[in-house]
Amino acid sequence: MYRQMPASGWGGPEMRCTFKMSSVMLTIAGSELPREESHMDRGRLICEELKRAGIRHIAWLPETETHFMNGAMLGDPEIQVVQVCKEGEAIAICAGLYLAGMRGAALMENQGLFESGNVLKWAISLEVPMLILVGVMGYRLHIEQSLAGRQEGPASPELRLVGAAFDITKPFLEALGISRHHVQSDDDVKKLGLAFDEALSTRRPVAVLLTSADGYVTGTAEGA
């Protein structure tokens, strides 16, 4: 699997990207967005579940683990996507939406979740309920290595970095007292509504961990 990502993000008039998803090659030009036709169902299901929970805004910083969400949420006329520059901004936007009587979800990678810790602290202290969708970098790599058994020789710096992101995610959330749910399949998508109900009843942020819907593994040849 090959992805060439523009440094300036999606939508630039000069952008030229080539995506290879399984056996499908898509060339993206102008302001078009990548459409992963064989892996879009999970993204659509998540968007529908968010809307059932009354969530119409997603504050988002693009990342690799949840790229399957991109086409679904950006193409949904009922969802307003707010692209942020830092993950902490997504938390602040969701807090503002709540204070204005609206509902929003933040979408970020687990490494960005760590970066947003200072803002999360305030959201927790002020009892602001919100849903945080977290792309878990390192999860699939962890599973693959567990199934394959212990590998010989030291891991590469890239794999150590990816593995560390996965290893830290659970204790990071536990340290902040943030409950978590894990969506690993289409059947798990219904957990989103339950997680948001929990956020409202406890008046706290709740995290939903998302794993790549197409087998993408960061830090490997398939994820390069």
- Average pLDDT (105-124) is 94
Domain membership of residue 224 (yes or no) is no
Within-domain flag for 218: no
Alpha helices in the chain (DSSP H): 41-52, 70-74, 87-99, 110-115, 117-125, 139-148, 157-176, 191-202
Q: Does any domain span residue 19? A: yes
Same domain, 106 and 204: yes
Tokens (6 digits) for 197: 């109900």
Same domain, 7 and 86: no
Same domain, 80 and 162: yes
Domain total of the chain: 2
For residues 39 and 129, give the distance between their C-alpha atoms in angstroms, rounded to a whole number.
30
The number of angstroms, rounded, from the C-alpha of 25 to the middle of its chain's C-alpha atoms is: 24
What pLDDT score does 35 carry?
41
Over residues 109-138, the mean pLDDT reads: 92
Sheet harboring 24-29: ordered strands across? 2-3, 16-21, 24-29
Tens of pLDDT, residue by residue over 10-51, are 333 333 333 333 322 233 333 343 344 445 689 999 999 999
Return the ∠ at Cα 57 (arms to 82 and 29), rounded to 5°: 45
Do both 29 and 48 map to the same domain? no
What is the span of the domain harbouring residue 126? 39-213
Percent of the chain with pLDDT over 90: 54
Predicted confidence band at 168 (pLDDT cuts at 50, 70, 90)? confident
Q: What is the DSSP letter of 103?
A: -
The pTM of this model reads: 0.73
